[in-house]
Structure 1
């Protein structure tokens, strides 16, 4: 272990550790070589965080505070993001059924369509993954599905 930080001790990473090697390879494949977040954002004319927010409310409508938590942003920034998405006609705020003081952010039809376009880009597997044998894909799916 090395010196700690505000969030806890910093662990030394050992490339001989199989978990470290696998994680580095997964990260390299998904983020370094095939990060499609920018392409998805460009395709729908939004920033990556706005795409994430839109995908979140399509998955499950939420109060602004819950959406901020799911996006790991503070509430004022989530408000800015939702305000922009609402101006674009991609989301709407509706009164909460149990508490009329609260609003629920949900996607409009246009928002659902934009989210589907972004998802199609982000969920398209890279050629390296498509080229794996069916048995290898099944094993990878099994292992990743256990998390």
Structure 2
């Protein structure tokens, strides 16, 4: 468990990886094309997994996911504030900061497929957040650009998603500097 600055205890940390066997069924095997069912399997080891894939890396990864997805719960807060899905809000913010963009450039920037991006842009157009006009440089494509209303909504998305959770704001400057260095190093290796 982790203590927050206010002394509250968080029970979000999952237990360490358990055995790869189930008392009832014996070894846990992964179904075709899916993750293992039952108890959490030990993390992979050996040359495929690399030196940082042991139980410590798994626990750190779980804790990072818990902090971002459960404790901070940015996606839910963005959805509640803007009345649209997190993906749509993310697309709107991307258009506001990087636009105007072609649909294909937007899809690439969001790591999404073209049909899903097109539906997202259609939704944003209907809500008055973006416009979609012919691209003067290439008549075969359209440019998506944020409107004033969309810029205001994108600013809300930025405010909500860029506000660190209390658990992170409560860390000392030395701890934040160390964490920043570690994350910078991890992101450079990707």
Short-chain TM bin: 0.7 to 0.9
Q: Residues 1-147 of structure 1 correspond to what in structure 2 (within 5 A)?
A: 12-13=42-43, 17-61=55-99, 62-146=101-185, 147=187
TM-score by length of 1: 0.83
Matched residues in 1 for 2:180 and 2:76: separation? 25
Aligned residue for 1:102, secondary structure, equals strand
TM-score by length of 2: 0.66
Offset of residue 125 of structure 1: 1.1
Matched residues in 1 for 2:42 and 2:143: separation? 43
Mapped contact 1:40–1:119 kept (Cα < 8 A):
no
**More deviation, 63-72/32-41:** 63-72
Matched residues in 1 for 2:54 and 2:108: separation? 36
Q: Aligned-pair RMSD on alpha carbons?
A: 2.5
- The C-alpha deviation readout for 1:77-113, integer Å capped at 9, x for no partner, is 2222111101111111133242122111121121111
**Runs (5+) with no aligned partner, structure 2:** 1-28, 35-40, 45-52
Offset of residue 43 of structure 1: 0.9
Higher RCO (Cα < 8 Å, 6 or more apart): 1
Matched residues in 2 for 1:36 and 1:59: separation? 19
Aligned residues: 143
Matched residues in 2 for 1:21 and 1:37: separation? 22
Offset of residue 29 of structure 1: 0.9
